[in-house]
Amino acid sequence: MSDALVRTVGISKEFASVRVLDNISVEIRRGEILGIIGENGAGKSTFIKILSGIYAPSAGHVEFDGKRVDLRGPRDAKRIGVSLIPQEFNLVETLNVYENIFLGDELRLPSGFLDRKAMIRRTIELMAELVAQVTPEAHIRSLSVAQKQMVEIAKAIKSESQLLIMDEPTTMLTSHEIEILFRIMRDLREKGVTIVYISHKLKEIKAICDRVMVLRDGEYICLEEASSLPIEEMARRMVGRELNQIFPPKSVPRQDVALRVQGLCVEGLIHGIDFEIRCGEILGFSGLIGAGRTETAEAVMGIRKRQAGKFSVGGKEVAMRNAGEAVKAGIAYLSEDRQGSGILTSFEVYKNVTLVSLSDYAGPLLRRRKEMEKTDYYVGQFEIKAPSLEARLENLSGGNQQKVSLAKSIDTEPIVLIVDEPTRGVDVRAKRDIYAFIRSLADKGLAIMFISSELEEVIGMCDRVIVMKEGRIQGELSGERINEEEIMFYATGIKGGL
């Protein structure tokens, strides 16, 4: 018997005669962690969807354990021991944790009734294994994003799978949680589980994977030992050309204060926060998940109920009772939850772009032509790839959706732009584009509040960094002190605090 668990033999996939995956023949070895990298649209997701039975290949076939298998759905895949942790959560919000973990796979008593005790016990074991603070009876909707991710992982590793496929599992996790995940992955590998791991974060790929496969525009580029492939080389092969400096150069902020926040309090979450952002400055907000960064942004925007807080924008006091007032005062917010609160996927590109700034296009009838012209401008400026300005957003890739979301935020011509995880789930090239836009906005004099869990981009982008912990500001860094170590010291409470 060979050491190949899975062999793909010339698999291709076409959608409406567009070839998204072209003749891929690879072997996945038993007990390895195989990384798959490539830009958005490179075919990574299509490849794993074929492996997990969600798509049938247009040509070619898959061999599992040396035998040809024709998977007709995820259930078929599950039966032969393939589990998938999808990129988007697949949890029932109204059910609780253990009900989700055992959904469709419930443990039953001999009488046929559900064996709740056993399921709860097993859930506790799984969570202990994942070192996750999640109670089995908690409702999914009450969980944080990171906790939801842990539930997804628990769901996938609950059954003894031979092949575990993870599609960008770390986008929502903090570095601490990522370490736990990596430890679990190594444990699973020890037990002989084969893992296919997709990520945009090349550092993680380098750290965890045994071998790396690169896809580009649906084509196979290479499959090599991770140890022999430096990160720069990975990026180069993904893009197909030299990827120069990903972060734009920093510049010197002006002196005038754009936004001043004083004594901001949100019940149970934010306990008295003061900060100011100057025009042209990118102020980073770092911290672990649950530190209260997003809540701070939402409270500033008037979307979240506050107990206290004074705001002034451009020197003028503003009440910010609701999002409308915040927008009028010149604040724009790019939400961390793109699909949940950022964009309307069933709306056309142009209708998304003008959604917040629609009054600029109404007189009182909407000027469609003007909307189109403005959208066309953003499409050119941001290099948004869309079939047309009237394409619904659900037909765009994540990176392009994010660019539309960014266009929507800045179309109100704000003074202060709050970006919350601006590059989540976005490929390297789109990331670089987004960094460049944000910097160019700052250079035009906008004040940027930059919330991110990716230390690399906080370090690369920000002029000054506020580190939050448990709803308070734990420390503030600038200049040379903006580095990984310092940020983590403050984020975990080793340094700073009162």
Partner 1 sequence: MTLPFLKRLRPENYLSLVALVVLFILSSLASPYFLQVQNLLNILKQVSYSGIIGLGMAFVIIGGGIDLSVGSMTAFIGAIAILVVNALGGGPWAITAAWLVALALGVGAGLFNGAVVTKGRVAPFIVTLGTMAIFRSLTLYIGNAGQFVSQSDLYGNMGMSSLLGVPTAVLVFFGLAFLLSGLLNRTRYGRYACAVGSNEKVARYSAINVDRIRLLTYVITGAMVAVTGVLLSSRLNSVNSSNGAVNFEMDAIAAVVIGGTPMTGGRGTIWGVVIGAIILGMINNMLNMLSVSAYLQGTVKGLVIIAAVFIQRGSSKAARS
DSSP 3-state of 163: strand
- Of 318, 343, 340, whose CA–CA distance to 331 is shortest? 318
Q: Which stretch binds partner 1 (CB under 8 A): 160-168, 194-202, 281-289, 319-327?
A: 319-327
State how far the Cα of 49 lies from the Cα of 44, in Å rounded to an integer: 9
Indicate whether 163 belongs to the interface with partner 1 (CB under 8 A).
no
Of 58, 347, 376, 472, the one binding partner 1 (CB under 8 A) is 347
State how far the Cα of 140 lies from the Cα of 440, in Å rounded to an integer: 39
CB closer to partner 1, 91 vs 327: 327
CB closer to partner 1, 137 vs 390: 390
For residue 395, the minimal CB distance to partner 1 (Å) is 8
Of 356, 415, 448, 465, the one binding partner 1 (CB under 8 A) is 356
State how far the Cα of 79 lies from the Cα of 64, in Å rounded to an integer: 12
Q: Which stretch binds partner 1 (CB under 8 A): 28-36, 285-293, 346-354, 481-489?
A: 346-354
- Give 474's strand partners: none
What is the per-residue burial (b if ≥16 Cβ within 10 Å, else e) of 150-187?
A: bbbbbbbbbeebbbbbbbbbbbbbbbebbebbbebbee
Of 241, 346, 369, 479, the one binding partner 1 (CB under 8 A) is 346
Of 64, 220, 333, 490, the one binding partner 1 (CB under 8 A) is 333
Q: Which helix (H) or strand (E) holds 35?
A: strand 33-37
For residue 342, what are its two tokens?
Answer: 């950022």
Question: Residue 29: CA atoms inside 13 Å, Cβ hemisphere, count?
Answer: 15
Indicate whether 308 belongs to the interface with partner 1 (CB under 8 A).
no
Q: Which stretch binds partner 1 (CB under 8 A): 82-90, 160-168, 323-331, 444-452?
A: 323-331
Of 251, 359, 381, 483, the one binding partner 1 (CB under 8 A) is 359
CB closer to partner 1, 89 vs 347: 347
For residue 437, the minimal CB distance to partner 1 (Å) is 20
CB closer to partner 1, 114 vs 355: 355
- Of 338, 432, 353, 342, whose CA–CA distance to 386 is shortest? 353
State how far the Cα of 442 lies from the Cα of 281, in Å rounded to an integer: 6
Query: Residue 104: how many CB atoms within 10 A of its CB?
Result: 6
CB closer to partner 1, 226 vs 356: 356
Q: Total residues contacting partner 1 (rule CB under 8 A)?
A: 31
For residue 139, the minimal CB distance to partner 1 (Å) is 18
CB closer to partner 1, 98 vs 361: 361
Q: Which stretch binds partner 1 (CB under 8 A): 4-12, 26-34, 166-174, 349-357?
A: 349-357
State how far the Cα of 159 lies from the Cα of 194, in Å rounded to an integer: 14
Indicate whether 56 belongs to the interface with partner 1 (CB under 8 A).
no
State how far the Cα of 139 lies from the Cα of 69, in Å rounded to an integer: 38
Q: Which stretch binds partner 1 (CB under 8 A): 81-89, 247-255, 284-292, 352-360?
A: 352-360
Q: Do the beta carbons of residue 109 and residue 115 sit within 8 Å?
A: yes
DSSP for 327-393?
A: HHHTEEEE-S-IIIII--TTSBHHHHHTSTTGGGGBSSSB-HHHHHHHHHHHHHHTT---S-TTSBG
For residue 106, what are its two tokens?
Answer: 């419930």
Rg over alpha carbons for the chain, rounded to the nearest Å, is: 24
Considering only residues 6 through 45, tell me which ones interact with partner 1, judged by CB under 8 A. 15
Q: How is the chain split among helix, strand and coil, in percent rounded to 5?
A: 35, 25, 35
For residue 365, the minimal CB distance to partner 1 (Å) is 5
- Of 469, 471, 457, whose CA–CA distance to 496 is shortest? 469
Of 289, 323, 470, 481, the one binding partner 1 (CB under 8 A) is 323
Indicate whether 451 belongs to the interface with partner 1 (CB under 8 A).
no
For residue 125, the minimal CB distance to partner 1 (Å) is 35
One symbol per residue from 184 to 223: x for binding partner 1 (CB under 8 A), - otherwise; what is it?
A: ----------------------------------------
Q: Which stretch binds partner 1 (CB under 8 A): 141-149, 205-213, 388-396, 466-474?
A: 388-396
Indicate whether 259 belongs to the interface with partner 1 (CB under 8 A).
no
Of 342, 414, 422, 496, the one binding partner 1 (CB under 8 A) is 342
Tell me whether strands 194-198 and 33-37 are parallel, antiparallel or unpaired.
parallel
Q: Which helix (H) or strand (E) holds 232?
A: helix 231-239
Q: Which stretch binds partner 1 (CB under 8 A): 5-13, 105-113, 214-222, 317-325?
A: 317-325
For residue 345, the minimal CB distance to partner 1 (Å) is 8
Of 49, 408, 439, 464, the one binding partner 1 (CB under 8 A) is 408
Residue type, 290: G
Indicate whether 341 belongs to the interface with partner 1 (CB under 8 A).
yes
For residue 425, what are its two tokens?
Answer: 């789930």
- Give 419's strand partners: 334, 450
For residue 194, the minimal CB distance to partner 1 (Å) is 30
Query: Residue 103: how many CB atoms within 10 A of its CB?
Result: 13
CA angle 115, 119, 100 (to 5 degrees): 115
Positions touching partner 1 (CB under 8 A) are 15, 301, 303, 322-324, 326-327, 333, 335, 340-347, 351, 355-356, 358-359, 362, 364-366, 388, 390, 394, 408
